[in-house]
Amino acid sequence: MATSSGTTISSDFSYPYPNPLQNSGSEENLQNLMDERKKKRMLSNRESARRSRKRKQQHLDDLTAQVSQLRKENNQIISSVSITTQHYVSVEAENSVLRAQVTELSNRLQSLNEIIAFMYQPMDTNCGFVDEQYGNGTEFVDEMMVNSLSYLCANQPILASADMIQY
C-alpha cells in the first residue's frame, strides 16, 4: 500500500508504528498495553531502587557500628598502654633505687671486709716499714712511737656507726 510520502506499509507491520489499516480501538488497546508495561517497569525500577537504598543504608549502619566498636577497642588499648607505661616507669624508678642501694651496700661490704681483714692481720710494730733508718741510725718506728701525733700507720681501720650509713 502506498502513502502520500511514497513509502509502502504492509499490513503485518507492528509496534512501535501502528498499522494505519487497524481501527482506532485496537490502536487504543495497544497504547493501553504500552502504558501498562511502562507503569510495570517504573514500579519494578522503583522497587529495585528502594531495595538498593535499603541495602546501602544497612551497609552504612553496619560500617557505623564497626567504627564504633573499633573506637571502643582503640580506647581500651590506649588505656591499657597508658597503665602499662605507668607501671614500667614505676618499676624502672624502683630498679634505679635498688641499683643505688646495691652499689652503696657493696661499698659498705667492701669496707667491712677490709676492717675484718685488718682485725685478723698480725700487728707489725713498724707499720709496714721494714728496717728503715732515720736520722743517726735509730729506727723510723721508734721515732714515731715517741711522737704519737705523727703516727702514720696506713692500715688503721676507721670505725663508723651503722646508723650513719643510710640505705
User: Which residue in 136, 156, 153 sits closest to 144, CA to CA?
Assistant: 153
Residue 108 pLDDT > 80, yes or no?
A: yes
Kindly state the average pLDDT of the residues 137-161.
Answer: 52
Residue 19 clears pLDDT 90, i.e. is over it: no
Encoded amino acid at 36, one letter = E
CA 125 to each of CA 20, 116, 139: distance values in angstroms, whole numbers, following the listed order? 151, 19, 11
pLDDT at 1: 46
In 120-165, alpha helices (H): 140-146
All three cell numbers of 128: 709496714
Residue indicated by cell numbers 614500667: 88
Q: What confidence score (pLDDT) does residue 26 get? A: 86
Mean pLDDT score, 19-25:
55
Q: What is the pLDDT of residue 127?
A: 54
Average pLDDT, the chain: 78
- What pLDDT is stored for residue 84 in this prediction? 98
Predicted model pTM: 0.44
Banded model confidence at residue 41, pLDDT cuts 50, 70, 90:
very high
Give the CA diameter of the chain.
166
Residue range 85-104, pLDDT digits in tens: 999 999 999 999 999 999 99
Query: Is residue 134 pLDDT above 60, yes or no?
Result: no
User: Is residue 157 over pLDDT 80?
Assistant: no
Query: Mind listing the pLDDT tens digit for each residue in 73-85?
Result: 999 999 999 999 9
The pLDDT assigned to 151 comes to 47
Question: For residue 159, what is the DSSP state?
Answer: -
> Residue 11 half-sphere exposure, CB side, CA atoms within 13 Å?
4
Q: Kindly report, residue by residue over 109-127, the tens digit of the pLDDT.
A: 999 999 999 888 876 555 5
